[in-house]
Structure formats: structure tokens, C-alpha cells
Amino acid sequence: MVFQETWELRARFARSLSDMYGTEVPAYTTLVEVSEAVNTDFMDTMGAEAERLGSIGRVTAERHGAIRVGSPEEMSQVAQVFAGFGMYPVGFYDLRDASKSSVPVVSTAFRPTDKDELAKNPFRVFTSMLAADDPRFFSPELQERLQSYIAERHIFSDELVAMAAKAAEGKGLEEVDADKLIELATAAFELNDEPIDEQWYRELEAISAVASDIGGVRYTHINHLTPRVLDIDDLYNRMEARGITMIDEIQGPPDWDGPDILLRQTSFRALDEERMFKFADGTVGPGALRVRFGEVEQRGIALTPQGRELYDTMNTQVDEKLAAGSGKTRVELAREVWAENLPNTEKGLREQGLGYFTYEVTSSAEPGEYDAEQLIDSGVLTAQPIVYEDFLPRSAAGIFQSNLKDEGTRDNEQQGTDYDLDTLSKIVGRDIVEPYELYKAQEEASLSAAAQQLGVTIHPTPALQS
């Protein structure tokens, strides 16, 4: 019997979902192939510098998934499943207001939180819960039907939840149990071919395609699986060259003359998928659905709260310039705004406290007190950027939105239901961590280890002063 540790379970789970999704959505396999080619070529051109934001081994295996659940109960169950794979909730995203289309969900991402676990396998799943109780989207009468429809389904079996709990408790599983866990967990996210109640599905779809995708069927499924590339502009062009139409723009930061920051994402549009429907007259037959798509991402440096504030301000400026109408595209304007506002070197980001880094000792120092930057300048320390492991609400809303056929409906006269990090934490059954706390703790730990090793005092970097 071979014991499989948590990270091995997580790596197997990611691989198993990827294999399953490749059979369901063949264009995903193309996306993975093109991503791998982009990464290999980028390595060839850039050499060691290519791995500054993650080893090629990690990046090649790296995926994020997206799933959508229907109720607090399902959210708490899925959290228990992910805990078995060492994936914990990080970040709160309210997509109801981040988008002009009707997207009635609140979300978190389940992911490893420890840097060594992330290095072994960083699988993360963006997980959205339907806000069925939000009166802006659902009338009291519909809300009741929707909630009882969802309450009757059983997506995560007791056996799956129990096996995941055993994995969480023992920090891994013996091989036989591990096989079972992977099998059950993969099946829980597989597309089910049970005929869909046409009337019910279309009733919800008229309000929001996201609502029908979640609450119009008796199962959940992986909505997309996203590989990571080292050069998303190259990927975008190669996909278009292959005749796969991508959404109009790459979401997030522009391609610019400076370090990669946060997260850039793009996707190809959801494809029509033939599924079986049960019609009002009792007959069963094929119909079209359009929910699943392919997404790809490039990751950059994690920003501090000040860095993030600057990012948001720059976005607002770009929006204003775009609205003012200059004939330039969003990306062209963004490049200009960035060049004016954001330092274009890692050193600049560090000095202004905008990004997070870890520090490594590369030579010795005289006893004394130093600023980290001083030690870097004199070759005692080297700095490594901390990669952004999370998501961006605006990009997430953009991804949802670009894949909806129409905007759906929402009644803004009604008062929306309150959700925040605390209410969602209670639902999840575990404290949702703020991303900043994890990055900050990592920078702090590396600086205090360096100080100890050198026998000196290092003053906190600007990133740790807020």
C-alpha cells in the first residue's frame, strides 16, 4: 500500500478533471496543446528568466477550474471535498455588482495556501454560489421554487464527503481510498446526460444564463479549466490563427513595457452544445446549450493593497479616456496610463511598496541595521516576486459576461441581499482568508529568516508597512 499525500491527491484530481474535460470539450485539448507550445517557445527564447514567476514544471501542470453551486448547503459540501485536496477558501468576490449583465452569484476560490504546497501543485477552483435569495433577480415565488428544486438534488454523495474528510484528517490517503476519492470527486463534476426540463431551464435562462446553468439542472459540472501560459499575447494570436475565435480582448493588465502583474486572462467563446431536453409535452429530444468555454491565463506579481488601489485607479482612468472617445482601444489607452503611473521595474514596485517579494540571502553582511533594498543593492539579498495566485472580480465578471448570449434581467429597485467575506465564511464553514494576508505573511517570513541567518536587523519593506 502506498500512502498518497495531500498534494499528490490534488495533482491527481487536477489531472483527472483535465482528462475528463478534454473528452467533453475537444477545443480544450487544442487550448492545452497550444499553451504547451507557447510555453516551450517562451522558455527557448527567454532561458532561465522565463521561470521567474514559476517553474516550467509547475506552470505546465497548472490549471484553475470554475464550478457553480446552488445553495449554502452545496457550498459547504464542496468546501469539505476541496479540503481533502488541501484547497482552502481565499478571497471573496461579489459578481452581482461587478457586471452589467445578470450574474447572480457570490464566489470564493479554493486553493492551497502554503507556498510549498503551491509549488507542488497549485490547483485552484473558482467557486460560485447562486444567490437564490437576491430579490433583484428572483421574485419571492420563483425563489421558493428554485430553492426547493436545488434542495432536492444531491450532488456531493455522503461517500465522497466522508472520503474527503478522511483525506483531510490523515493529510492523505492509502492508494485504494485515494483512487476512490479521485473517481468520486471527478464524477461529481462530470457533465450528466439526464434530460433537462426545458420549461424550467428556459424560465431561469430568461433571467440569467448563469442561473439556468446552476439551478436549471440536477447536477453541477466543471464550467471551464484554465491552463497557464507564459505569453498570453502569443497564445491569443496562435488560437486565432487556428481559426478559433477568441473574445475581443485580453482581460486585465495590458501587454506593456514592465513586469507582469496580477492576472491576464482571455477565452474562446462558449460553444453550442447539444444536450437532451424533456419538453413540456413529455417528449425528449435534443436542444442547444451554450455555457462552457475555454479560458487561458498568464500570471504576474501579487500587488499590495496600495498596488491594487493604483491598479483600480488606472482602470478607472482608462475607462474615462475610453468614454471620452479618442479612437484608441482600451488596451492602447491602458498602455499609456500604465507607462505614466506604474514603475516599470521590479525594483520600482518594491520601493513604492506596490508588490510582494521574498528575499534570499546570497552573501554575508556586517552586523547592523539595514533596509532590505540596501542589502539588495550590495548583493547580500536577492528578491523574487511573489506570484498572484488569486482572481480579479472585474475580469471574472468580464469572463462571465462575454459568454452570455444576452444580458438577462434584474430589478434594481429591489434591495440586494447582503453577502460579504464573513457571511460567505459562515456558509463555507471555514474562515475565508484575504489574499493579502497570505502574501504579506510570506514576505514577512522570508525577511525574518534572512535577518536571522545574517544576524542583522532588517527594516520592514514598504510592502509590510501598511
Query: Whole-angstrom Cα distance, residue 204 to residue 23?
Result: 28
405 secondary structure, DSSP code: S
CB of 232 or CB of 450, closer to Ni ion: 232
Minimum distance from residue 445 beta carbon to Ni ion (Å): 29
DSSP letter for 382, please.
E
d(CA 295, CA 278): 30
Cβ nearer to ligand OOG, comparing 311 with 357: 311
Q: Is 95 in the site for Ni ion (CB under 5 A)?
A: no
Residue 395 contacts which entry, ligand OOG, Ni ion, none (Cβ below 5-8 A, type-dependent): ligand OOG
* Residue closest to ligand OOG when measured from CB atoms: 396
CA angle 208, 71, 401 (to 5 degrees): 30
- Nearest to Ni ion of 196, 399 (CB atom): 399
Q: What angle do CA 178, 181, 183 make, to 5 degrees?
A: 110
State the nearest-atom distance from the C-beta of 380 to Ni ion, in Å. Answer: 40
Cα–Cα distances (Å) from 79 to 15, 107, 304, 418, 431, in that order, read: 19, 12, 27, 21, 11
Q: Which of 9, 32, 59, 66 binds Ni ion (CB under 5 A)?
A: 66
Residue number with CB closer to ligand OOG (105 or 333): 105
**Quick one: how far is CA 190 from the chain centroid?**
19
Nearer to Ni ion, 225 or 427 (CB): 225
Cα-Cα-Cα-Cα dihedral sign, residues 437, 439, 445, 448: negative
* Binding of Ni ion by 375 (CB under 5 A): no
Q: Please identify, using beta-carbon distances, which residue of 196 and 225 lies nearer to Ni ion.
A: 225
- 177: three-class secondary structure by DSSP: helix
Q: Which stretch binds Ni ion (CB under 5 A): 53-61, 129-137, 254-262, 291-299?
A: 291-299
- Give 356-402 as a 3 state SS string: CEEEEECCCCCCCEEEHHHHHHCCCEEEEECECCCCCHHHHHHHHHH
Residues that bind ligand OOG (CB under 6 A): 66, 68, 126, 128, 223, 265, 295, 391, 395-396, 399-400
Q: Which stretch binds Ni ion (CB under 5 A): 137-145, 277-285, 294-302, 368-376?
A: 294-302
In whole angstroms, the minimum distance from the beta carbon of 118 to Ni ion comes to 17
- Least separation in angstroms between residue 64's CB and Ni ion is 6
- Given a contact cutoff of 8 angstroms between Cβ atoms, the answer to whether 130 and 102 are in contact is no
- Residue 93 CB, nearest approach to ligand OOG (Å): 8
Cα–Cα distance, 416 to 120 (Å, whole number) = 40
Question: 101: number of CA atoms within 13 Å, CB side?
Answer: 22
Considering only residues 218 to 237 of the shown chain, the ones binding Ni ion according to CB under 5 A are 226
Residues that bind Ni ion (CB under 5 A): 66, 226, 295
